[in-house]
Copies of this chain bind each other. A is one copy, B any other.
């Protein structure tokens, strides 16, 4: 099942996406009464997806991210091997979250802003001290995240909260896919296509089989410290291929089976 959050002429609502594939022309959004974290109760209102605007599919209380979880990305950003720089945990603020199609807005003091296409897990129930083997029991589904990062600020600050926490620096969507058995989560292609000056090139072209910490390990690691709540987002790390974006570009992160998360880039 696919859950989205949509802006309709009648207001904002969570919805179930009806239909197959990614083509919005073939999909219908069926509004639900509550959130994606319980069985859906339909309001009876339906909208052709082409007629509404997709928003970020969750309103998280926190966005917890695993950095340095792909060896090739560690090498390209830090010029050191992942052996010396193991995965680490950081937070992006909820105010950085934005939806599919919404602009990534770059302020003038961020001079090297890169995309990072990643697979994101959406938490389904309050949980603490989750064992690795039980990770699927607390996850509602998966979606795509772009962990937008200002490399200059990241290195200048030491801490990554500002470089990765600027408003609009966490595009999320297009929807939450709840069927974790629908695809091989440990073997999912992750791609990012950058359009610059009208030319589209595939910059990230990797696979979740390259992750250093797996999903279960990530859940056990985070929840040993922090309680996770429904709607919380876990960013599972970026593979190599990240590159700077400039105003006028469009960045599309693609994970086959989930969909495409595309955002234009603007000067703030």
Write out the residue numbers on chain B whose beta carbons fall within 8 Å of the beta carbon of A93: 61-62, 64, 91, 226
Write out the residue numbers on chain B whose beta carbons fall within 8 Å of the beta carbon of A227: 95, 167
Q: Which of A101-152 contact B (CB under 8 A)?
A: 107, 109, 128
CB <8 Å contact, B95 and A165: no
CB <8 Å contact, B158 and A88: yes
CB <8 Å contact, B167 and A95: no
CB <8 Å contact, A159 and B225: no
CB <8 Å contact, A159 and B67: yes
Judged by DSSP, the binding face of A is loop
Docked pose: A5 CA to B166 CA in angstroms: 30
Docked pose: A227 CA to B157 CA in angstroms: 19
Q: Which of A143-183 contact B (CB under 8 A)?
A: 157-162, 165-167
Docked pose: A85 CA to B159 CA in angstroms: 11
Write out the residue numbers on chain B whose beta carbons fall within 8 Å of the beta carbon of A224: 107, 109
* Distance of A134 from chain B, by nearest CB (Å): 19
CB <8 Å contact, B159 and A159: yes
Decide if A96 is an interface residue (CB 8 Å cutoff).
Answer: yes
Docked pose: A67 CA to B160 CA in angstroms: 12
Query: Chain B: which residue is nearest A221 at the CB level?
Result: B162
**Size of interface on A: residues with Cβ below 8 Å to B:** 32
Given contacts A107-B224, A224-B107, contact A62 B162 (CB under 8 A): no
Contact partner of A226 (CB less than 8 A), chosen from B61, B64, B165, is B165
- State the number of copies, please: 2
Query: Chain B: which residue is nearest A160 at the CB level?
Result: B159
Decide if A214 is an interface residue (CB 8 Å cutoff).
Answer: no
A16-30 interface code vs B (CB 8 A; 1 in, 0 out)? 000000000000000
CB <8 Å contact, B94 and A62: yes
Decide if A89 is an interface residue (CB 8 Å cutoff).
Answer: yes
Write out the residue numbers on chain B whose beta carbons fall within 8 Å of the beta carbon of A94: 61-62
* Distance of A152 from chain B, by nearest CB (Å): 13
CB <8 Å contact, B159 and A96: no
A109, A166, A225: most-surrounded residue (chain B CB, <10 A)? A225
13 A-B pairs with CB atoms under 8 Å apart are A61-B61, A61-B94, A62-B95, A88-B158, A89-B157, A89-B162, A96-B226, A128-B167, A162-B225, A166-B225, A166-B226, A167-B225, A167-B227
Please name the 10 residue pairs, one residue from A and one from B, whose CB atoms are nearest each other, closest first: A91-B91, A166-B225, A90-B159, A89-B162, A62-B93, A91-B161, A95-B227, A88-B159, A90-B161, A88-B157
Q: A61-B95, A88-B158, A91-B91 are in contact. List 12 more A-B contacts (CB 8 A).
A: A61-B61, A62-B93, A64-B161, A88-B157, A89-B162, A90-B159, A91-B93, A91-B165, A93-B226, A159-B160, A165-B226, A167-B225
